[in-house]
A and B are shown apart, each in its own frame.
Chain A
Amino acid sequence: MSDYIKENLNQDGIDRRGFLKCMAWAGTGALCLLQGGVLKSFALSDITRQNIGRLKGDLSFVQISDSHIGFNKAANTDVTGTLRQAIAKVNALPTPPSFVLHTGDLTHLSKAEEFDTLAESLKSLRTDQVFYVPGEHDVLNDNGEMFRERFGKSSLGEGWYSFDKNGAHFIGLVNVVNLKAGGLGNLGPEQLAWLKKDVANLKSSTPIVVFAHIPLWAVYPQWGWGTDDSEQALSFLKRFGSVTILNGHIHQTMQKIEGNITFHTAASTAFPQPQPGQGDSPGPMKVPDDTLRQVLGITDVNFVRGKHSLAIVDSTLA
């Protein structure tokens, strides 16, 4: 699965030699570190041989995604149990993350009791704060009203917002409401106008982290794995030296680099989905019980301020 990029095709001053092309099926994973303009990569299996302590930055946070509380079919009959295991994994990190991002599909059916179970479970996270954006499963019958009431009180519009941490600017976007027939994920003109304004006064050296549920790049449009107006959003971010886009939705880890923009999707804490086009549909995929935890996981992100350093580590629940 791993593949090395042999030459630098983008004239962005970043040497990609040896960079692991992280089209990693969940269960493998990679660590990506940008240090002094040089991208370094390690397969997850190498991390034990590196001193992970040395990779710590000014800020570390964790992304979890697609918990689908309420799902109870063959692909995983105990999604609350696997969420608890993901939480244990986060709580076992050598440095507690400053905060946790949940990139949507907290619930399977947008039910109040499912939101309650999710909120109750995440109370045991050893972190200061949890930030959320909704997935399409969280906005099923009310356009996300219940979600925003519980998890997005201070958000704008359909639930978008931004905040600053340790010199980095974080932006939570919503691309799962008002979807159009035949289309993909959708941000909409109101949110795009807000985004443009939100980043207008930031220095180009400010590290940007965008998180949203559906990928903001065309992973596999045939299955709806992309966002119709993401190009516009990305056009506002092109001038920044370091942009990281974190998504969920596809229940597997994937990474792509485009100029200064790194796209990354996290594994689900609930069930895996097939690789693009490798199944009848993008629905839940049943794997043998003893391998389920190898295809679920969490994502740990580290920043080193001033060095443009960013390290993304996917780890499984196994």
Chain B
Amino acid sequence: MQNKKWFLGAVLTVLAAVAAVVSMHPGLTAQAADQSGPAAVKIDNFSFGPETLTVAAGTTVTWTNNDDVPHTIVSDDKQFRSKALDTDEKFSYTFSKPGTYSYFCSVHPKMTAKIVVK
């Protein structure tokens, strides 16, 4: 009985540690979140977050522009391309096939990121 209690305590500690690590790494939380439905990329301060988002095939990714200036989402190979998104506007795209999809903002091309579809 005493042993079981100790074991449970240890498991809970490990779980808490994992949760803490995951919450400190946005990339990991994003990856964890995609297991259940839609995934999100936020645009803040001229950058895409997370910079690399891993999703399952069939996932719809939605980008939201939180900046005061317009941005676009354009895949390097032009497979998908949004209109210019003003503040708070969104763009969605469903990734049906596995692969790595690099994209950038055609207005501010220094902004680059990618979606990895498993």
Contact = CB atoms under 8 A, between A and B. Distances in A.
Given A137-B70, A281-B45, A182 B84 contact: no
Contacts of B103: 181
A75 B68 contact: yes
B8 to A, nearest CB: 44
Contacts of B72: 140
Interface string A128-139: 000000001100
Contacts, number: 61
B107 A140 contact: yes
Contacts of A75: 68
B109 A109 contact: no
A283 B109 contact: no
B68 A283 contact: yes
Contacts of A137: 69-70, 107
B110 A223 contact: yes
B84 A181 contact: no
A290 B27 CA distance: 42
B118 interface: no
B95 to A, nearest CB: 18
A182 B104 contact: yes
B97 interface: no
B45 A184 contact: no
B29 interface: no
B91 interface: no
Given A140-B84, A182-B104, A282-B46, A108 B70 contact: yes
B107 A73 contact: no
Contact of B109 (A73, A140, A184): A184
Contact of B110 (A74, A140, A141, A224): A224
B106 interface: yes
A280 B69 CA distance: 14
Contacts of A283: 45-46, 67-69
Contact of B84 (A141, A222, A224, A281): A141
A73 B87 CA distance: 9
A110 interface: yes
A223 B83 CA distance: 22
A181 B108 contact: no
B102 interface: yes
B104 A181 contact: yes
B109 A179 contact: yes
A181 B46 contact: no
A140 B85 CA distance: 10
A73 B86 CA distance: 11
A272 to B, nearest CB: 13
B54 interface: no
B46 A109 contact: no
A141 B45 contact: no
A74 B86 CA distance: 15
Given A109-B86, A280-B45, 18 more contacts: A71-B68, A73-B87, A109-B84, A110-B84, A137-B69, A137-B107, A140-B70, A140-B83, A141-B83, A179-B109, A181-B102, A182-B109, A222-B110, A224-B108, A281-B45, A281-B46, A281-B67, A284-B68
Interface of B: 45-47, 67-70, 72, 74, 76, 83-84, 86-87, 102-104, 106-110, 112
Nearest 7 interchain pairs by C-beta? A181-B104, A140-B84, A281-B45, A281-B46, A179-B109, A280-B45, A73-B68
19 contacts: A71-B68, A73-B87, A74-B68, A108-B70, A109-B84, A136-B107, A137-B69, A137-B107, A140-B70, A179-B107, A180-B109, A181-B112, A182-B112, A184-B110, A223-B46, A224-B109, A281-B47, A283-B45, A283-B68
